[in-house]
Amino acid sequence: MKSPAKSVFFLLVVLCISVPVSPQQKAPARQSAERRRVVRVEDPLQSLLAQADAAIEKKEFARAVESLKKYLAEKPDDAFAHFQLGYAHVGLAQQDAARQEFSRAIELDPKLAEAHLNMGLLLLNDDPAAAIAPLARAAELLPRQARVRFLLAGACGRAGRPAEALESYRVAVRLDPKDPEIRLAFARALLAAKRPVEAEPEFRAVLEARPDAAQARLGLADCLLAQNKPDQAAVEFAAFLQQNPDERETRMQFAALLADLQKYSQALVELDRAEASLEPTLDGLKLRARIYFRQKKLADAIAALEKALPLAPQDAELHAFLGRLWLEKREFPPAERELMVALKLNPGLTDAVRDLVAVHYLGENYSATLSWQDELARRELPNAGWWFVRAICYDKLRRIPEAIAAYEKFLALDLGKSEDRDFQARQRIRILKLELERKK
C-alpha cells in the first residue's frame, strides 16, 4: 500500500496530465474526420507528447522519459514537459533526475503548483525540512486544497516545527472537516504537543465519522490517560482491543492500566492474553510481580521476579524490587543480598538504602541500622521517623545519652503527630534519665 503522501502524489500528477482519446472511443463523425485530418498533418512534437502521456498512463516510465527528452530537445522551455519528465523519473526511482526536472519546471513557470507540490513530495521522506518551502508555495498556489496543507503539516512535524505543523493541520481541517485522515493527524499532533483537551474532540470527530477507526480509538485512549481519566481510557482500550485482539503491546498497556485501577484479576487476564503462547517477557514479568505484590501474594511476586532476573541481570531496580519483596516477607538475608546487589549496580538508589535500614532494624541488627542510617542521612534530611528509629537503636545498644538526645530530637520534629511514638519517647526519656541519675 502506498503511503498517504505517495497516493496524493500520483493522484495529483495523473489529474494534471492530458490523456489522448482512445481510438476505440465513440465520437461524432465530424470530430472523427477532424481527428483523421490532424493525424495526416500531425506535428511530430505533439506526437511525442501524446506518446509520453500514454506511456505515463500505462506506467511505462522509461518510454515516457525517452519521448519527453526528444520533445525537450526541441522545446527546452516547456515547463509542463519538464514537470512530466520529473514525474516519469520518480516512477523509475531516479530521485536526483526528478528533482532537476521539477526545479527546471519551477524556474520556467513559478506558478506551476503541481511542480512545487511534487518537489515537496519528493523531499518529504528523506529531507522534510527541505520539503517545507515547495509545499508551502504549493499551498499558496492551491489555497483551497486541504490535502496540500495536510502534506505541509506533515513536513513541518517531521522537521521538528510542531507549532507550524499544528497551524497547517488547523487550516486543512477548516478546508475539509470531513476528511478523517486529516483530523486524525491533527489530533495526534495536538496530543504530541501535550494539548490533550484540544485533541479529544478531534479524535471523537474521527470516530463519529468512522467508528472502526482503530488508531483514532487508541489515540483517544492515550488522550484520556493524559487528562487523568483512567476509567474512560480503559473503556477505549477495551474497544480498540476488541477490534485488534492481536495488538500485544496495547494489551500490555491495558493490563498495566487495569492494575493502576486496582482491577488486579482483570489485569492478570489481559496479561495472560498478551503473553499467550509466548515466552514471558521482562516487562510482563515485572508487571505480574507488581500486581501480585499489590494483592499481597508475595511468594508469587518473588517467583515472577526470579524469572525476570536472568533476562536482565544488570537491572538495579529489578534487584531492589526483589529485595523489597523479601523484606515484606520478613526474609532478611535474601533481602539484604538483593538490595546490596542493587546498590552495587546503581549506588544512587536511595530507596534501596532506606530498605536496608529497615532490613537491619527489623532483624535487630542495631549497629548496622545506625550505619545505614548514616548513609541515608547523607542523601536526605533526616525526618522524625529517622530519629525515632535511631533512638531505639541507641536505646537497645545501651548508649543512653545518645538515646535521650535522639528521642528529644524526635519529639521536636514530630510535634505530637504520632501519639503512640510520642508517648513511648517521653516514657523512655524519663526512664533513661532516672538510670543516669542512679549511676551518678
pLDDT tens figures, 290-337? 999 999 999 999 999 999 999 999 999 999 999 999 999 999 999 999
pLDDT of residue 40: 43
pLDDT of residue 76: 95
Superfamily, domain 1-21+40-155: Tetratricopeptide repeat domain (1.25.40.10)
Confidence at 41, pLDDT banded by 50, 70, 90: very low
Mean pLDDT value across residues 159-170: 96
What percent of the chain is predicted at pLDDT more than 70?
A: 90
pLDDT of residue 26: 30
Q: Give the C-alpha separation, 414 to 194, whole Å.
A: 41
Contacts of 203 (CB under 8 A, 6+ apart): 184, 187, 216, 219, 220, 223
pLDDT tens column, 174-213: 999 999 999 999 999 999 999 999 999 999 999 999 999 9
What percent of the chain is predicted at pLDDT more than 90?
A: 87
pLDDT tens column, 105-115: 999 999 999 99
pLDDT of residue 42: 62
The yes-or-no verdict on residue 368 having pLDDT over 60 is yes
Confidence at 170, pLDDT banded by 50, 70, 90: very high
| 7 vs 211, residue with greater confidence | 211
Mean pLDDT value across residues 7-32: 31
C-alpha cell at 240: 480498540
pLDDT of residue 159: 96
Q: Which one, of 295, 265, 300, 296, lies nearest residue 285 by Cα?
A: 300
The yes-or-no verdict on residue 32 having pLDDT over 80 is no
Confidence at 359, pLDDT banded by 50, 70, 90: very high
Mean pLDDT value across residues 7-16: 35
Q: Which one, of 304, 299, 262, 302, lies nearest residue 284 by Cα?
A: 304
pLDDT tens column, 116-155: 999 999 999 999 999 999 999 999 999 999 999 999 999 9
pLDDT of residue 18: 29
Mean pLDDT value across residues 17-44: 36
Contact 434, 402 (CB under 8 A): no
pLDDT of residue 37: 31
pLDDT of residue 39: 38
pLDDT mean across residues, the chain: 90
Confidence at 25, pLDDT banded by 50, 70, 90: very low
pLDDT tens column, 83-112: 999 999 999 999 999 999 999 999 999 999
The yes-or-no verdict on residue 80 having pLDDT over 80 is yes
Mean pLDDT value across residues 256-280: 93
pLDDT of residue 11: 33
Residue range(s) occupied by CATH 1.25.40.10 in the chain: 1-21+40-155
The per-residue b/e assignment along 289-322, b for 16 or more CB within 10 angstroms, e otherwise, is bbbbbebeebeebbbbbeebbeeeeebbebbbbb
Mean pLDDT value across residues 20-37: 30
The yes-or-no verdict on residue 17 having pLDDT over 70 is no
Question: Could you say which architecture CATH assigns to the domain 320-380?
Answer: Alpha Horseshoe (1.25)
Mean pLDDT value across residues 422-435: 95
- Rounded to two decimals, the pTM is 0.74
